[in-house]
Structure 1
C-alpha cells in the first residue's frame, strides 16, 4: 500500500534503514495517540503499534478497528505521516517510548542487534500456510522473525490504446522497452516512467540480468557483465527524451499513468483498483523485461511485515496480540489485503480463496507474481541498498562508468558483509 500522496519518498524498496540510522528522539509530533483498544478483559495491559501512513482511503480506520476488537489489552496506534517513517521508527526504538509492535521489512540488523523477537512459536504451527518465500525472507538460523501481512508485486502498467495507436507490442527485453518507449513518446506523453529516483528498478534490473544481490553464501552476486550492460542501457533510456522525469508523485502513486503523463509506468499491484477505475479496460501489465539472454522477466515483490520489539516492556503481551491479529484473524487479514487496494495475502489459503484475485487483471498479476516473483534477501542491508542506488545515480543520471562504480560499491558492500557475517 502506498503512502499518503504528499510524500515523494519511495516506501516500496524493501530493507530501508539500518538500526541507529536516525538520532534518538521522541515521536510526540509524528502521529496521533489514536485507536484505543477495547481492553475488555480488564487486564490493564497497554500496547503501542506503529504503522506508516498508507495512501489508500480506509486503511487507518481499518487498523484501529482491528485493534479495538482485541480484548486482552488496550492497543494504541501511532499512524505516522510524512516522508521519513523509517527514521522516526528507528529513533523511537532507541528511547523508552519505543513501540511494542511495528511494521517494517525483514532486515538482518534487527535480528543481530536483538531488536526483534523470535516469532517461530507463533508462525511455526501455520508455516505451511504461508508463501514459502515469505518464510525464507524472515528466517535467520532457523528462527522466524516477523509475520508477513501483505505481498506487493510490482510490474509495468501500460495503456493498451496507446500501444495499439503506435503499433507496438509488449516489450520482452530491456532493449525492446527502449524502442517501445521511443515509439510511444509524443509532445504530450512520455513513453515510460520508472519513478523520480529510479531506485525502485535497481533490484529488478539485477534479477532480469540473470544476477542476484547476494548468493547463497552471502557474497556479492550483482557484479556481472549483464548488470554492467543493464546500467548502460538505462543510461540510454535516461538520455533519450522518452523517460518521464520529475513527475508530481513518485512511482508508487498511479497518477502519472492515470493522468496521461506516460504510456507505461512501473508501479505496484496496490494501485491496480485506482488505475482500473480511471482507465477501465485500457490497462495491461507486464514484468520487468529481461536484460540479457541469461536473465528472465522479473516481478519484484515488496510488502510489509509485523515485528515485536524484543526490547520492549510487554514482549509476551505483544506476541499474543500479533498472533491474534496476524495469525488467527483471517477475516481481518483478508480485509487488509483486499479491501484497500489489491495485495496478495501471504497466507496461501487466503490467496487461493480471494475472489477479487481470480479473474481479469488481478489474476494476471497473481500469475506474474507466481511465475516471475523475486523476494528480498534479509541480508541485503540499507548500506548495501544505498551503495547500489549510488551506482545507478552515478551511471544512469551522471553518465559514469558502470564497471568503476560497481567496483566502488563492492568495497562498501563487502565491509557490510564482513560486519554481519565475518
Structure 2
C-alpha cells in the first residue's frame, strides 16, 4: 500500500472511522489508539538492509531506510530532501523514503506513532522530550553512533543523552528564540533596541503612535506563545527555576509563576490582536510587510522572508531585562535532530544515516536550503553564513544557560494537553491569573504525580 498524494485521503484511509472528526487534543490524550495516524513508516519499510546491532556499518549500506519527518513547511522540507538525497547518492544500494507529516500533527501524535509502526529514523528534539521516549523504551540506543561522531560539544552530547547515560539523539541544527525586527524600520523610525522591560513598553507605545502593531503575535497552533512565557519566566525567575518548573518540581500557584503571567498581562496590549486566529507564519508576514515592529519567535521566521536583501534586513535582540539580579544570560535555543525507533526495520542503514546527519557536509546542505538555522557540528564551515546566522551562532555561544522550549523541556502530555489551552485561555482573559495557575497546578499534579 502506498501513501496517497492527497493528505486528506491518506488520513481518511489510515484513521479508523470512530476516530475521524475528533479534535486533535482528544487524539493527543491517547484514549483512542490512533497509532496508524503517523504510522507511515509501515507503508514503505520493506528493506533488505543490514540489521546488525553491533555498531555502525563501515561500508555502504543497502535497502530502504524510512524517515518520519515533521518538517512540513516548504523551506525545511526542501532541506531534508537535499541531505537525504546526498546520503542515498553516497550509498547507491540505499533508498530513503521520507514520510512527511504536518508539524503539529506529528508532535501531537508522537506517542501513538512510536507505539505503532514508526519509521526507522524520525525527526525530534533534544533534552527532556528525547529522554521521555527513551525511558519508555520507544527509542533506539545509538551510543555506538556517537563513538564515531566528532565536532559536537559536550553540551550537545549531554542534550542527546538519556537518564540511563546512553545516547538516543543526533543534533543537526539549532536556532535562537529572541525578539526579531527589521533594521530598516528601526532606522527609518529612529527606534532604539530596548534593554529593559520599561524601554520595551516605551518603544511599544511609540510604535502604536506610528501605526504599527508593536509585537506580531499568532497562536492559532497553540505552541508559539509558549516561547513568550519562557522568555518572561527566564527573565523574572531565572534559569534554575524555569527548568525546575518545566520538570514538574515547582508549584504553579507559587507567586513567582503568577508574577510571570502578571508581567505578560502588562505587555499583552502591545501584541497583535486576535492572535488565536493567526498562525505564526501569518504573524511573521506582518513583520515582513512592515505592519508590525517586533516579533518574539525563533529565527525560523526568516523562512517567511525572501532570500537576499529582505532576509539581510532581519535582525534580533535578546528579550529585555526584567530583574537586574537575574539578567539576560539565559537563552532559548532549541536543538533539532533525529532519533532511531526502538525496533528499526533497517538498523544498519538507520545508524549510517544518523552518523551522516551529524557530519558538517550534511548540516551545510540543510543550512543551504534553510538559512534560518545554524549547524551543531563546530567543524562546519561558517564562511557562508548569513549575517543573521553569524549573529545567531554568537548569541547561542555567549549564553550562560540554554533552554530548549516549553514543549521540549517538559512532558509532552503536560505541554500539549495542559499548557496549550491554559496559555490560550490566558490570552483570552489575562485577568484571572489566580484561577489559571490553580487549574494548571491541579492538572500538573495529576500528570506528574506531585
TM-score class normalised by the smaller sequence: 0.7 to 0.9
Task: Give the corresponding residue for 1:313.
Answer: 345
In 2, the alpha carbon distance for the partners of 1:288 and 1:219 equals 25
Per the alignment, residue 394 of structure 2 pairs with: 367
Q: Which has the higher helix share?
A: 2
The match for 2:67 is: 49
Equivalent residues in 2 for 1:169-318, closer than 5 Å:
169-186=192-209, 188-196=211-219, 197=222, 198-211=225-238, 212-215=241-244, 218=247, 220-221=249-250, 223=252, 225-238=255-268, 240=269, 243-246=272-275, 249-250=279-280, 254-272=284-302, 274=305, 277=308, 279=310, 282-297=313-328, 298-318=330-350
State the match for 1:94 in structure 2: 115
Equivalent residue number for residue 136 of structure 1: 158
| 2:168 match | 145
How far apart are residue 30 of structure 1 and its match? 7.1
The equivalent residue for 1:66 is 86
For the 8 Å contact 1:173–1:290, the answer to whether it is kept is yes
Deviations 1:326-366 (A, max 9, x none): 23x4312221134322322111222xx31133x73432222
Aligned residue pair count: 395
Does the CA-based 8 Å contact 1:100-1:315 persist in structure 2?
Answer: yes
Q: Structure 1 residues 411, 132: closer, same or farther in 2, change over 3 A?
A: farther
For the residue of structure 2 that corresponds to 1:191, the secondary structure is strand
CA distance in 1 between counterparts of 2:30 and 2:445 reads 20
Distance in 2 separating the partners of 1:269 and 1:38: 40
| Separation in 2, partners of 1:281, 1:45 | 42
Q: Secondary structure at the match of 2:332?
A: strand
Aligned-partner Cα distance in 1 for 2:249–2:38: 41
What SS does structure 2 have at the residue aligned with 1:213? helix
Tell me if the contact between 2:175 and 2:333 (Cα under 8 Å) persists in the aligned partners: yes
CA contact (8 A) 2:246 2:410 kept: no
Aligned partner (choices 71, 96, 109) of residue 132 of structure 2 = 109
Aligned pairs (5 A) from 1:318-333: 318-323=350-355, 325-327=356-358, 329-333=359-363
SS at match of 1:50: strand
The offset of 1:234, in angstroms, is 1.7
Which residue is 2:99 aligned to?
78
Q: Deviations over 1:255-276 (max 9, x none)?
A: 1211122011123323447366
In structure 1, how many angstroms separate the alpha carbons of the residues matched to 2:289 and 2:46? 39
Structure 2: gaps spanning 5 or more residues:
1-26, 50-58
**Does the CA-based 8 Å contact 1:388-1:409 persist in structure 2?**
yes
CA separation of 1:277/1:335 partners in 2, compared to 1, >3 Å: closer, same or farther? same
- For 2:204 and 2:394, the matched residues in 1 are separated by 25
1:190 positional shift: 0.6
1:8 counterpart residue number: none
- Deviation of 1:371 after TM superposition, in Å, equals 2.3
The Cα of 1:29 is off from its aligned counterpart by 10
Shift in Å, 1:137: 2.1
Contact 1:67/1:76, CA 8 A, preserved across alignment: no
| CA displacement at 1:186 relative to structure 2 | 4.5
**Which residue of structure 1 aligns with residue 374 of structure 2?**
344
CA distance in 2, matches of 1:288, 1:21: 39
For residues 119-172 of structure 1, give each alpha carbon's deviation from its aligned partner in whole angstroms, at most 9, with x where no partner exists. Answer: 122114436x21333222222232111101111212111133433455442112
| 1:10 matched residue in structure 2 | none
Contact 2:46 2:64 in 1 (8 A): no
- Partner secondary structure for residue 68 of structure 2: strand
CA deviation vs aligned residue, 1:219-255 (integer Å, no higher than 9, x gap): 52585545422311221222x2653543754159731
CA distance in 2, matches of 1:37, 1:184: 58
CA contact (8 A) 1:134 1:148 kept: yes
Instruction: Measure how far apart 1:200 and its partner are.
Output: 2.6
Q: Distance in 1 between matches of 2:86 and 2:28?
A: 29
2:411 aligned residue:
381
